[in-house]
Amino acid sequence: MKLIATLGMAALLSGCSMFDSQQSAIPAEFAGADYQLSDQHAKQWAIASKQVEQCVYPNLTRILQQHFSKEDSYIHSQYVFFYPLEKLLANNM
C-alpha cells in the first residue's frame, strides 16, 4: 500500500512539472510603469533596503515580521522598500 502511494505521488509530481512554463518579464512600458530599473539599480536598491532593515529592525525575524500589526507592516514597507527606492530614483532621474 505504501509503495502504491509513493509511486502515485511521484507520478503526480512529475506530471505537474511537465506543464511548468517559463515566465518572461513584461517590459516596463507595457506594464504601465513610470520607470524601469536596470540590474545595477535593482541591486543597489536591494542592498539599501537590507541596510535600512538591519538598522531599523536589528533583531527582526521572519516570524516576528509575519506578526506585525497593520501599522507596523505599513511602516516597515515604507522605510525598508519605498524610501530607499525613492532615494535611488531621485538620484538617477
* Number of separate domains in the chain: 1
In a domain, 11, yes or no: no
In 19-69, where does DSSP find H-type helix?
Answer: 28-31, 39-56, 62-66
For residue range 59-86, list pLDDT tens digits in order.
988 898 889 999 999 999 999 999 999 9
In a domain, 14, yes or no: no
In a domain, 26, yes or no: no
- Straight-line distance from the first to the last Cα atom of the chain, in angstroms, rounded to the nearest whole number: 64
Q: If you search the block for the grid coordinates 512529475, which residue do you land on?
A: 14
Higher-pLDDT residue of 4, 50 = 50
In a domain, 24, yes or no: no
In a domain, 17, yes or no: no
d(CA 82, CA 70): 16
In a domain, 77, yes or no: yes
Higher-pLDDT residue of 32, 74 = 74
Range of the domain at 92: 37-93
Kindly report the average pLDDT of the chain as a whole number.
79
In a domain, 60, yes or no: yes
Q: What is the pTM of this model?
A: 0.59
In a domain, 13, yes or no: no
